């Protein structure tokens, strides 16, 4: 199995004078599912965005390694799959056109076989040629999983992953998360008990407020 690790060292984040979290030290490794929990506004999305190098910490360090080799920030997107309700999709494109476009942006060849597999797994294959503007919120959320998993990333970050999903949709997503975690590192930011029940270990942000 591949070895992917993320190390958080003395991570601190302020927005202006407001402390979001202070002194987070934590190690993540592939083959596991980790949770980031806390009430709304506690900094869950902030922490996973820092891990994904989408925003910067105020102080501290995040280190990514793949098979013992440090990953530079400009290369992180090749290893990372990010899923969240706020990801942007093109409503005027079909689902498959969106996936082709995302592959082009990454600079990789579109993997038709992988795309069809994920579309089937997430019950969207029969709608892959429909414009995304006609999708329900739950269908759009399932499509965002395909965006995040299409390039077979070693690190999968899921921010509120079951937002807009009904119970059958959640069960599909949970099955896929468990399967992906066999070979990847999965981090889930959520305050949903059913999401966090998947996790081997959980960072409780309320413990890092002083």
Chain segment 46-73, per-residue pLDDT in tens: 999 999 999 999 999 999 999 999 999 9
Question: What's the DSSP call for residue 157?
Answer: E
In order of 22, 23, 55, 142, the CA distances from 14 in angstroms are 9, 12, 12, 33
Q: Give pLDDT, residue 88.
A: 87
Is residue 4 classed as helix, strand or coil in its secondary structure? strand
Q: Give pLDDT, residue 79.
A: 95
In order of 22, 71, 87, the CA distances from 81 in angstroms are 26, 15, 12
List, for the chain, all residue ranges whose pLDDT scores fall below the cut of 70.
1
How many angstroms separate the CA atoms of 108 and 137, rounded?
Answer: 28
Q: Give pLDDT, residue 194.
A: 96
The token pair at 154 is 């070693």
Q: Give pLDDT, residue 36.
A: 98
Q: Give pLDDT, residue 1.
A: 67
Nearest to 33 by CA among 204, 193, 185: 185
In the chain, DSSP assigns E strands to 4-15, 18-29, 33-37, 59-66, 69-70, 80-83, 155-159, 185-189, 201-204
What's the pTM? 0.95
Q: Give pLDDT, residue 210.
A: 80
């Amino acid at each position: 199995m591949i070895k992917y690790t993320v190390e958080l060292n003395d991570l601190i984040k302020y927005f202006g004078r407001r402390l979001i979290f202070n002194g987070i030290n934590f190690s993540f490794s592939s083959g596991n599912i980790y949770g980031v929990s806390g009430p709304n506004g506690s900094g869950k999305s902030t922490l996973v965005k820092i891990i994904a190098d989408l925003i910067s910490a105020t102080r501290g360090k995040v280190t990514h390694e793949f098979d013992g080799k440090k990953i530079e920030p400009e290369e992180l997107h090749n290893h990372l799959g990010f899923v969240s309700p706020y990801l942007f999709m093109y409503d005027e494109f079909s689902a498959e056109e969106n996936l082709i476009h995302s592959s082009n942006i990454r600079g990789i060849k579109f993997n038709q076989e992988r795309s069809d597999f994920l579309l089937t797994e997430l019950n969207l294959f029969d709608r892959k040629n429909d414009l995304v503007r006609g999708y329900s919120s739950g269908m759009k959320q399932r499509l965002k999983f395909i965006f995040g998993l299409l390039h077979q990333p070693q690190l999968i970050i899921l921010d509120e992953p079951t937002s807009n999903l009904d119970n059958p949709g959640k069960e599909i997503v949970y099955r896929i998360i468990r399967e992906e975690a066999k070979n990847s590192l999965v981090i889930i930011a959520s305050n949903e008990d059913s999401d966090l029940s998947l996790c081997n270990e959980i960072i409780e942000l309320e413990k890092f407020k002083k």
